[in-house]
Structure 1
Amino acid sequence: MSETPKHVTYEDAGVDTAEGGRAVDAIKQMVASTNRPEVIGGIGGFGGLFSAAALKDMDDPVLISGTDGVGTKLVLAQILDRHETVGQDLVAMCVNDILASGAEPLFFLDYIAIGHIEADHMAKIVKGVADGCKLAGCALVGGEMAEHPGVMRPDDYDLAGFTVGVVDRPKMLDPANVCAGDVIIGLPSTGVHSNGYSLVRKVIGVDGIVPGTPEAAAKKAELEQPLAELGGATLADALLEPTRIYVKPVLELLRGGAKVHAIAHITGGGITENLNRALAPDVDAVVTRDGAAMGWDVPPVITYIAEHAGLTPAEACKTFNMGVGMCIICAPEDEASITSALEALDEHPFRVGTCVPGSGEVRYSDDR
C-alpha cells in the first residue's frame, strides 16, 4: 500500500510566484517608458500588441526579425554583481543586426531564465533592457521571467532577446550592391561589446569562479583596481561597458538620402567574419592595417586582452571588433558626404578600407 503523498506546494519546489509578481510590478513603469504610438495595451496579457500602422506608408514593407543573447559576459556581470547594463547589451545585439538591412526596430521581447527571482535584482536587469530599447527607439512589448530552481544556481541567470523591425523593400540594403572601388567607413565601438568573453574570462582568470563566494569577492576587488594600461580605468568598468546601439544615427543617415550600399555589424568573429557578410560574391574588402596596429584607435581594453592572450593580428581581428562596431560601405564619390552627415550627428567615422575585385573575403593591407 502506497504512503499518503506529502503536501508539496510550488513554493516548496523552489518557485516563488509571489516574488515573481512583485518583479512584474517593479518593471511595469520601465516597460511603459519604451512605448511607441503603435503599442496597444501594456504588459500582463498573453501577448504583446503592436499596430501595423507603422507600415502603411511604405510601398512594400518587409518585416525583419533578429534574436540573440549576451553570452558569457553575464558570468563577469555576476562575479562583479553589476547587472544594470547587460540588458542594453541584449538589445544592441539584436537591433544592430537588423539595422544592417536598413530596418527600423519596432518592438522587442526578452526572456530571462534565473535560478531564483528577486524583484530588485530583476528590476536592475530589465532597466538595462528598457534603456537599450529607448536608445534604439523600439518598444519593449513583453517578455518572460522563468525561475529554474534545481537547474540554475539561485543567482545565476541567462538572457535572450528578440526584435522585429521593418524596411521598405526599395530602400533595403543589399550586399549585392557593393562594387570594387567602394569604400568602407567605420563607426567606433565602446570596447569589447558582447563577443569574445570566453577568451576574456580565461585571460583575466575568472573561469571556474562561482559568484557570491569569497573567491569571487577577491577577484572583484582585483578587477576594480585602476590599470595604467587602460589609462587609469578598471577592467571591471571597461569589460562591462555596454554594447553601442547604432540605430538612431544610422537611420537618420539613411533617411537623409545617403547612398549606402551595405552595412556590417561587427560581432562574434570580429572584422574578419562579419565584414564579409556585407560583400558581393565578386568583391573582397581590404582593411587598413599596418602590422599589429590598425588604421584607427583600438580601445585599450581590447589591446590589453589581445596582448595578454598572445593573439596574432589575424587572431585578434577574428575574435574582437578591434574598435569597429559597424561598417558602412558606399561609393567613393559619396564618402565625403556620408562622413560629413555622420559627423553632424556627433559620430566619429573613419576609413576602414576599400573594396577590390575578389571572392567575398576580408583581407588586410599587411597580408603577405
Structure 2
Amino acid sequence: MLKGIGGFGALFEVPRKYREPVLVSGADGVGTKLKLAAQLGRHAAIGQDLVAMCVNDILTLGAEPLFFLDYFACGKLDVEVAATVINGIAAGCEQAGCALIGGETAEMPGMYPGGEYDLAGFAVGVVEKKAIIDGRSMTAGDIVIGLASSGIHSNGYSLVRRMIERARPDLNAELDGRSLADALMAPTRIYVKPIRALLERAPIKGIAHITGGGLIENIPRALPESLCAELDACAWPRPPVFEWLREHGQLAETDMQRVFNCGIGMALVVDAGIADAALTQLLDAGEAAWRIGSIRARQAHEPQVVVRASSHNEARKCHI
C-alpha cells in the first residue's frame, strides 16, 4: 500500500515476486443476513462475512488477495455500529492476508429503515499467469475434497428469516453447544491461508466456493462441461443448524443442496495420486476436511453434480 486511507483513491504496488501477474477482482455483499444482524443487534462478525464472500471467490482462481475496499450505506450513520462493522472487516482482511486499503461511507436519509444498513465489498488479488486455476487439467478419476463451513455462511437468509418469522423459535435455546442465534449468525469462513499454503506444495485443478446455489450450482462452475462430480452425501458430517433448517423449512434434500452449503464451504479437485497428501496437509493445518467425491465422465443431459448416499442402507441417515 503506497498511500494511507483518506484520499480520493488508493494506491497499491503489485508484488515484485510475480513474473506475469494477472489481477483478479471480485465484488459481493452479505445479503439479507444484514437484516437478521440488525434484528439481533449482532454486528461484530458481519465484516468478516463481507471479506470472506469476496476473497474466497477470487481464491478459486488461485489468486493471492492483495487489497480490499468496502462500501457502507445507511439512512443515518450510527458511528458505534459502523465502527463495529469496519473493525470486523479489518479482522477479516487480517485473516485473508490482504490490506484494507479504503472504502466509502454513504449516509442517505430515507433510503434505509432506521437501524439498518447495506454493505458491499471489493477484493483485488493477483495470480501468476501460468498458475491460474481454470479446470482445464481436470480428468476423470480426480478427487473432490470438501472443507468444512462454519454454518450457513452468507446465503439463504431470506428463507432463514421466513422460518424464524413463522416458527418464532427461542433464539437463546441451545443448539449443539451454543445458542441458536450464534449458530445462525456464525461468520463465513475465510479459506485463503490454508488453500494458499496447499497450493505451494500441491497442484489444485479446480476450486469452488459454495455460496448461493449450494453444492449443486457452484461445483459445476469449476468443472469442464464434459465432466461430472459425484458426491457421497455420507462423506461429511452435516452441522446441526442445517437439520434445524430442514425441519423448520420442511425442505426436500434437493432444495437444501440448492440453497445451502450443507456443511461444505469450499470444494477442491485434486489428482487422485496426491489426494491423501493434500488432505493430510489440510488436517495438519487444523482444517476439517474430507474426501467427498470424485470426478467422472458426464453422460448426455446429466447434471454436473450428482449427490448420492454411499449405500442404500445409509440413504436414510444421509437424507437421500
> Does structure 2 retain, via aligned residues, the 8 Å contact 1:223–1:234?
no
Distance 1:319 1:202 in 2: 14
Distance 2:72 2:199 in 1: 33
Sort the Cα spacing of 1:232 and 1:344 in 2 relative to 1 into closer, same or farther, 3 A. closer
In the other structure, the counterpart of 2:152 is 192
> Does structure 1 retain, via aligned residues, the 8 Å contact 2:150–2:188?
yes
Question: What aligned pairs does 1:5-84 form with structure 2 within 5 A after superposition?
Answer: 39-52=1-14, 54=15, 56-84=16-44
Match of 2:183 among 234, 238, 258: 238
Count of aligned residue pairs for this structure pair: 308
In the other structure, the counterpart of 2:104 is 144
Distance 1:57 1:112 in 2: 33
Are positions 1:327 and 2:264 aligned together?
A: no
- String of CA shifts for 1:319-360, please: whole Å, max 9, x gaps: 100100001101111101111111221112101111110067
Match of 2:200 among 242, 248, 255: 255
- Structure 1: gaps spanning 5 or more residues: 1-38, 208-218
Distance 1:113 1:206 in 2: 29
Match of 2:294 among 350, 354, 367: 354
Distance 1:311 1:224 in 2: 20
In the other structure, the counterpart of 2:250 is 310
Question: 2:172 corresponds to which letter in structure 1?
Answer: Q
- Structure 2: gaps spanning 5 or more residues: 310-314
Sort the Cα spacing of 1:302 and 1:109 in 2 relative to 1 into closer, same or farther, 3 A. same
Question: 1:48 corresponds to which letter in structure 2?
Answer: A
Considering only aligned residues, what root-mean-square deviation do their CA atoms show, in Å? 1.7
> Does structure 1 retain, via aligned residues, the 8 Å contact 2:74–2:111?
no
Match of 2:211 among 254, 267, 275: 267
- TM-score (normalised: structure 1): 0.81
Distance 1:113 1:351 in 2: 41
- String of CA shifts for 1:172-203, please: whole Å, max 9, x gaps: 11112211111100100000000010110111
- String of CA shifts for 1:243-285, please: whole Å, max 9, x gaps: 00000110011112x0211111100000000011111111000
Question: 1:195 corresponds to which letter in structure 2?
Answer: N
| 2:158 partner SS | helix
Percent sequence identity is 47
> Does structure 2 retain, via aligned residues, the 8 Å contact 1:177–1:280?
no
In the other structure, the counterpart of 1:363 is 306
- String of CA shifts for 1:277-326, please: whole Å, max 9, x gaps: 1111110000102xxxx321111111111221111111111110010000
> Does structure 2 retain, via aligned residues, the 8 Å contact 1:101–1:172?
yes
Question: What aligned pairs does 1:172-251 form with structure 2 within 5 A after superposition?
Answer: 172-205=132-165, 223-227=170-174, 230-251=175-196
Sort the Cα spacing of 1:223 and 1:77 in 2 relative to 1 into closer, same or farther, 3 A. farther
- TM-score (normalised: structure 2): 0.92
| 2:49 partner SS | helix
| 1:271 partner SS | helix
Distance 2:19 2:45 in 1: 38
